């Protein structure tokens, strides 16, 4: 239900922003963009900030009011960029969870994402200390008393805030440095977070980045971030305006003992870390497998694997090639994009056994060819369309109602383009329609991108030019797109019926026993 709601919101965003600029498909990249926004504005502020307890407040006051046109705007961008980071990262977490993108080999990104939450909060909370206004005083006292409940420090930290004379400039400067050190640790942890993804999208599209910056600027100008009155440890601060994005645990401390709140947060963290390993675990299929007899070490599988699960190693079988592909089964998510990339995964091959350089044991290329030929032979009607879909995009149950045939793949990127060539040039069907997850949001990160590029002949292995492009259609839809898929198939059929190929097509009786059956035979005995 939650997933359905997410998809409806995403569809609305697709309309408002276009799929290419839909921020919900770019939350991780937006997180990076916001991090850099906060880092750059932070460096600017630091240049004018005084880290001494006496002067900190005055320096922030100068930055905000005297230099309002630059420093003031920077301060507001720093504040609102940090708030937006929390929002974006929580949405990112929720989305990866709802779309189930953290199981199996994908546990790494999830589990390295969890500590990022702690670091983001530590960076944000320490930022509120350094302004040294009444809010800073409240945050410093509340967080240090809370930290003291852990009993980790010989001297309670809260003692530093008992009286103006107990707070030394050295301690205050240390707090300011924590606010520099924690974001640097966050940057390192963010880098680790992406280590198992190939070509991670850490930059949002330019228009989305500019739009985000413009929105932050507009909020900064409409509602500049300003300080509370200066801190005074001799008296209790008056009412303070909390930043709920970062400071939400502090009011809870008035009602819940500090240790209980630590235990609750530690429990939540452990639960989050366990999420990828909790039921439902799903069926575990074997990882992609390399067949050295058919691998020439061309490296296309390495270039297309979205999870860095294939690498090239020196040749081990004495064959006349320098390298060979090798799959790390622990990193493989069984998407099949490597199969779609392998030049030897072609149904045209005439061998006793159709075995490509790399294959998915769950749906080997030889079995796929049999399926394809069989499905094509079973299609009736004047215009035969075969639909290839993936298991994560739109459901294919409704395809039969249109009279088209259909084949489900782990990911649309699993399909080698030569299959389309085979189907069309052998006259097995009039048209091939490919469908997969929404544009820009492939479940396996790159399946829809690579497929579109292979069809447009922008990526190897590409669909040969002899295949008329009007005979191939791509439709990227979410799981709620069944009606649209039916309409697209019907529209595609109507377009195809206008083409020369369909007008010249022999009548069904004359066809029987030729193309489809011959290829079915070929499929059974290897090609
Ligand atoms: C500073 C905070 C974070 C940033 C900047 C960030 C950034 C990113 C980026 C850029 C990607 C790659 C997107 C792509 O190319 O497909 C990504 C993927 C991912 N992130 Fe984060 N992330 C953050 C926090 C988190 C958190 C808190 C979690 C969850 C606990 C999380 C879970 C994931 C998962 C599961 C993936 C997807 C891996 C896959 O597709 O297999 N991230 N993140
Ligand atoms: S794409 Fe195929 S032939 Fe090329 S290295 Fe990978 S498995 Fe070998
Ligand atoms: S199936 Fe192939 S492309 Fe997909 S993760 Fe495994 S090795 Fe990489």
CATH number, domain with residue 214: 1.20.810.10
Q: Flag whether 323 is in a domain.
A: no
Tell me, what's the pLDDT at 205? 97
- Are 437 and 476 in contact by the 8 Å Cβ rule? The answer is yes
| Boundary-marking domain end, from 211, 240, 275 | 275
As a whole number of angstroms, the distance between CA 129 and CA 179 comes to 9
Q: Tell me, yes or no, whether 388 and 515 share the same domain.
A: yes
Tell the residue nearest (CA) to atom 8 of ligand 2.
Answer: 295
Phi-psi region of 142 (alpha: psi -120 to 50; beta: other; left: phi over 0): alpha
Q: Flag whether 42 is in a domain.
A: yes
Q: Tell me, yes or no, whether 80 and 177 share the same domain.
A: yes
Tell the residue nearest (CA) to atom 32 of ligand 1.
Answer: 110
Q: Tell me, yes or no, whether 494 and 396 share the same domain.
A: yes
Tell me, what's the pLDDT at 470? 95
| Boundary-marking domain end, from 256, 275, 294 | 275
Element spanning 122, H or E: helix 107-129
Ligand 3 contact via 338 beta carbon (within 6 Å)? yes
* pTM over the 0.85 mark: yes
Tell the residue nearest (CA) to atom 1 of ligand 2.
Answer: 342
Q: Tell me, yes or no, whether 38 and 170 share the same domain.
A: yes
3 state SS of 287: coil
Q: Flag whether 429 is in a domain.
A: yes
Q: Flag whether 215 is in a domain.
A: yes
Q: Flag whether 478 is in a domain.
A: yes
- Are 327 and 288 in contact by the 8 Å Cβ rule? The answer is yes
For ligand 3, the distance from its centroid to the CA atom of residue 474, given in whole angstroms, is 22
Atom of ligand 1 nearest to the CA of 189: 1
Q: Tell me, yes or no, whether 74 and 212 share the same domain.
A: yes
Ligand 1 contact via 106 beta carbon (within 6 Å)? yes
Q: How many domains does the chain have?
A: 2
Tell the residue nearest (CA) to atom 22 of ligand 1.
Answer: 28
Q: Flag whether 426 is in a domain.
A: yes
Tell me, what's the pLDDT at 167? 83
Tell the residue nearest (CA) to atom 20 of ligand 1.
Answer: 109
Tell the residue nearest (CA) to atom 3 of ligand 2.
Answer: 295
- In this structure, the strands spanning 310-314 and 323-327 are antiparallel
For ligand 3, the distance from its centroid to the CA atom of residue 335, given in whole angstroms, is 5
Cβ-based neighbour number of residue 298 at 10 Å:
19
| Pure H helices in 194-252 | 206-222, 244-247, 249-252
Range of the domain at 460: 363-525
Q: Tell me, yes or no, whether 511 and 409 share the same domain.
A: yes
Ligand 1 contact via 34 beta carbon (within 6 Å)? no
Interior CA angle at 294 toward 293 and 296, to 5°? 105
Q: Could you give the maximum distance between any two Cα atoms of the chain, in Å?
A: 101
Q: Tell me, yes or no, whether 233 and 371 share the same domain.
A: no
| Boundary-marking domain end, from 206, 240, 275 | 275
Ligand 1 contact via 442 beta carbon (within 6 Å)? no
Q: Tell me, yes or no, whether 268 and 393 share the same domain.
A: no
pLDDT digits (tens), the chain, 527 positions = 788 899 899 999 999 999 999 999 999 999 999 999 999 999 999 999 998 888 999 999 999 999 999 999 999 999 999 999 999 999 999 999 999 999 999 999 999 999 999 999 999 999 999 999 999 999 999 999 999 999 888 888 888 887 888 888 888 888 889 999 999 999 999 999 999 999 999 999 999 999 999 999 999 999 999 999 999 988 888 889 999 999 999 999 999 999 999 999 999 999 999 999 998 877 789 999 999 999 999 999 999 999 999 999 999 999 999 999 999 999 999 999 999 999 999 999 776 678 999 999 999 999 999 999 999 999 998 899 999 999 888 888 888 889 999 999 999 999 999 999 999 999 999 999 999 999 889 999 999 999 999 999 999 999 999 999 999 999 998 888 889 999 999 999 999 998 876 766 665 555 544 444 444 444 443 33
Say which ligand is closest to the CA of 323: 2
Q: Flag whether 59 is in a domain.
A: yes
| Pure H helices in 239-333 | 244-247, 249-252, 258-274, 300-304
Structure-block tokens of residue 343: 């030049």
Tell me, what's the pLDDT at 504? 66
Residues 246-256, buried b or exposed e (16+ Cβ, 10 A)? bbebbeebeee
Q: Which of 71, 72, 93, 83 is nearest to 38 (CA)?
A: 83
CATH of the domain at 425: 3.40.50
Terminal-to-terminal C-alpha distance of the chain: 46
Tell me, what's the pLDDT at 503? 67
For ligand 2, the distance from its centroid to the CA atom of residue 343, given in whole angstroms, is 7
Tell me, what's the pLDDT at 150? 94
Q: Tell me, yes or no, whether 61 and 200 share the same domain.
A: yes
Q: Flag whether 1 is in a domain.
A: no
Say which ligand is closest to the CA of 294: 2
């Amino acid at each position: 239900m939650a997933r359905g709601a997410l998809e409806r919101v995403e569809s609305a965003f697709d309309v408002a922003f276009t799929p290419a600029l839909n921020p919900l498909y770019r939350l991780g990249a937006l997180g990076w963009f916001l991090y850099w926004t906060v880092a750059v504005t932070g460096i600017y502020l630091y240049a004018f900030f005084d880290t001494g307890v006496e002067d900190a407040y005055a320096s922030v006051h100068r930055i905000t009011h005297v230099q309002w046109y630059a420093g003031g705007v920077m301060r507001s961008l720093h504040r609102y960029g940090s708030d937006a980071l929390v929002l974006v990262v929580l949405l990112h977490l929720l989305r990866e969870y709802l779309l189930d993108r953290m199981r199996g080999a994908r546990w790494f990104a999830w589990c390295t994402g969890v500590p990022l939450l702690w670091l983001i909060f530590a960076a944000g909370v320490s930022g509120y200390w350094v302004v040294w206004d009444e809010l800073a005083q409240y945050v410093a006292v509340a967080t240090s008393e809370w930290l003291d409940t852990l009993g980790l420090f010989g001297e309670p930290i809260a003692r530093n805030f008992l009286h103006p004379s107990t707070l030394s400039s050295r301690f205050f400067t240390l707090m300011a440095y924590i606010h520099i050190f924690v974001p640097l640790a966050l940057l390192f942890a963010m880098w680790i977070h992406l280590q198992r993804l190939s070509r991670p999208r850490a930059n949002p599209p330019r228009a989305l980045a500019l739009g985000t910056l413009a929105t932050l600027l507009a909020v900064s100008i409409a509602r500049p971030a300003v300080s509370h009155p200066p801190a005074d440890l001799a008296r209790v601060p008056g009412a303070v305006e909390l930043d709920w994005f970062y400071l939400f645990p502090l009011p809870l401390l008035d009602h819940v003992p500090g240790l209980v709140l630590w235990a609750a947060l530690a429990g939540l963290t452990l639960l989050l870390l366990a999420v990828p390993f909790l039921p439902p675990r799903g069926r575990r299929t074997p990882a992609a497998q390399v067949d050295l007899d058919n691998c020439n070490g061309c490296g296309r599988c390495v270039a297309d694997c979205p999870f860095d699960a294939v690498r090239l190693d020196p040749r081990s079988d004495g064959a006349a090639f320098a390298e060979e592909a090798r799959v790390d089964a622990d990193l493989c998510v069984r998407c099949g994009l490597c199969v779609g990339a392998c030049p030897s995964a072609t149904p045209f091959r005439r061998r006793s056994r159709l075995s490509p350089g790399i294959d998915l044991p769950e749906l080997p290329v030889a079995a796929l060819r049999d399926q394809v030929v069989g499905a094509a032979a079973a299609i009736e009607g004047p215009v035969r369309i075969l639909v290839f879909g993936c298991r994560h995009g739109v459901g294919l149950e409704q395809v039969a109602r249109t009279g088209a045939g259909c084949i489900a793949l782990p990911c649309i990127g699993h399909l080698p383009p030569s299959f389309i060539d085979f189907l069309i040039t052998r006259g097995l069907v009039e048209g091939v329609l490919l469908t997969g997850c929404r544009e820009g949001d492939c479940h396996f990160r790159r399946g829809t991108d690579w497929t579109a590029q292979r069809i447009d002949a922008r990526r190897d292995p590409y669909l040969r030019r002899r295949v008329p492009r009007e005979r191939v259609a791509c439709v990227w839809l979410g799981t709620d797109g069944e009606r649209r898929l039916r309409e697209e198939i019907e529209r595609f059929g109507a377009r195809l019926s206008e083409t020369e190929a369909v007008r010249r097509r022999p009548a069904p009786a004359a066809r029987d026993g030729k193309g489809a059956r011959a290829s079915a035979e070929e499929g059974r005995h290897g090609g």
